[in-house]
Amino acid sequence: WWDNVGIAPKDPILSITEAYFADSSPRKINLGVGAYRDDEGKPVVLQCVRDAQAKIAGCEFLESLSRQGSMKLVDESVKLAYGESSDVVKEGRFAGVQALSGTGACRLFAEFQRRFRPEAQIYLPAPTWSNHRNIWRDAQVPQRTFRYYNLESKILHFEALMDDVKNAPNYSFFLLHPCAHNPTGVDPTEEQWREISYQFKVKNHFPFFDMAYQGFASGDLDRDAQAIRIFLNDGHLIGCAQSFAKNMGLYGQRVGCLSILCKDAKQAISVKSQLQQIARAMYSNPPVYGALLVSTILDDPDLRNLWVKELKVMADRIIKIRAVLRKNLLELGSPLNWDHITNQVGMFCYSGLTPEQVDQLTNKFHIYMTRDGRISMAGVTTENVAYLANAIHKVTKS
């Protein structure tokens, strides 16, 4: 039956973790996957999550959720994205469903887009998270790219971005990272977001935000949602994928939300029913437990405050370790400019290392990262930063 099946290409991110685990060197460092680690290099279970676990233990039926998923989770998620007091939330002008983390939210949306706007393409930033290409490919949505990052200057390629937005056919779909762009760590400024939003209005483009790292760019949830709020104020109907994998450290629980803003509450009912139907055929209901943890934390003022504090601790550790890595490189006498390490935000540093330099780091120094030179800063610790800086200096010297 399956003679025609060859081995699938390796995932560029997940295969790095596999290679890391297969390495027996005590010096090895995993800078591949974007998963938070503390300064000891260990995964973290947040205290607010432990408290929520205790709070829900034994007091909830673990029945399968209704088709709309956890209503409380969705209601709290949209407030995080669009603002506590936003009119779209108050007036119910959104279709929101619980999703299997950010990936599942994107996949649901891609499927929805193909069904109801089959003529439209999706424009993905160049570069973007590698899985975005898989998601829209599998939903059979034609995809294009728009220019985003200037490899030479290591900043946003703003003019090129605006040109591509202007030159795309009217009514195109664009995927935007509202904060902590993956992989570059470079976000538009507030003013640039305003200009992008304005141009989207002119062109009638649809903005789809994949918000996987809310809180990780600045440590502040509202600030990290600024791009979304700008588009909202400009009257756009937006789509938004949210994930609690990173900002609550619930990677394996797969908790997320997909919301699509609608012109009125009636339209929202139709859109939501279609999203529910798509989900029903794919996986029926999302899992319950993680969603209960998230909604318990968001709904309880004490747990929520604790979460905000713990999120800031995670974001601040990454900001600090960026500075230490840069300082180490300068002290080693590296003649290269490493300002981008501290200018970039969020979990990643788009280092500018070439694929060959990355191979050398892996082969000679047991340092693992994707071949595009993306460093997951969460893997850098006080203990390994000097070793890492030395290795980067060695492979970039000649």
Kindly list the catalytic residues: 129, 210, 246
Q: What are phi and psi of 144, to 5 degrees?
A: -130, 175
Residue nearer to ligand LMR on the CB measure, 41 or 83 = 41
- Closest contact distance (angstroms) between CB of 275 and ligand LMR is 22
Mark residues 75-114: x for contact with ligand LMR by CB under 6 A, - for none.
----------------------------------------
| Dihedral angle, C-alpha 390, 391, 395, 398, nearest 10 ° | 20
**Site residues for ligand LMR, window 131-160 (CB under 6 A)?**
131
Residue nearer to ligand LMR on the CB measure, 182 or 351 = 182
- Closest contact distance (angstroms) between CB of 33 and ligand LMR is 4
Nearest to 361 by CA among 13, 15, 20: 20
- Closest contact distance (angstroms) between CB of 234 and ligand LMR is 28
Amino acid letter, 286: P
Residue nearest to ligand LMR (CB): 34
Nearest to 229 by CA among 258, 257, 190: 190
User: Which of 20, 29, 30, 33 forms a contact with ligand LMR (CB under 6 A)?
Assistant: 33
**Site residues for ligand LMR, window 243-302 (CB under 6 A)?**
none
Using CB under 6 A, count the residues that bind ligand LMR: 6
- Tokens representing 302 are 């004490």
- Closest contact distance (angstroms) between CB of 373 and ligand LMR is 14
CB atoms closer than 10 angstroms to residue 240: 29
Residue nearer to ligand LMR on the CB measure, 131 or 143 = 131
What whole-number distance in Å separates Cα of residue 358 and Cα of residue 353? 6
- Closest contact distance (angstroms) between CB of 397 and ligand LMR is 28
Residue nearer to ligand LMR on the CB measure, 48 or 377 = 377
CB atoms closer than 10 angstroms to residue 388: 23
DSSP-derived secondary structure letter, 372: T
Question: Is residue 73 within 8 Å of residue 293, measured between CB atoms?
Answer: no
Which residues neighbour 172 within 8 Å (Cβ) at sequence distance 6 or greater? 120, 121, 122, 123, 203, 205, 206
Residue nearer to ligand LMR on the CB measure, 131 or 342 = 131
**Site residues for ligand LMR, window 1-20 (CB under 6 A)?**
13
What whole-number distance in Å separates Cα of residue 348 and Cα of residue 12? 15
SS (H, E, C) 98-109: EEEHHHHHHHHH
Residue nearer to ligand LMR on the CB measure, 131 or 267 = 131
User: Which of 20, 31, 34, 341 forms a contact with ligand LMR (CB under 6 A)?
Assistant: 34
What whole-number distance in Å separates Cα of residue 135 and Cα of residue 106? 7
Question: Is residue 111 within 8 Å of residue 134, measured between CB atoms?
Answer: no
Residue nearer to ligand LMR on the CB measure, 169 or 252 = 252
- The beta strands (E) that lie in the chain are given as 29-30, 94-100, 122-126, 143-147, 149-150, 155-156, 173-176, 206-211, 239-243, 255-261, 348-350, 367-368, 374-376
- Closest contact distance (angstroms) between CB of 370 and ligand LMR is 8
Q: Is 129 in the site for ligand LMR (CB under 6 A)?
A: yes
- Closest contact distance (angstroms) between CB of 240 and ligand LMR is 16
What are the beta bridge partners of residue 274?
none
Give the binding site for ligand LMR (CB under 6 A).
13, 33-34, 129, 131, 182
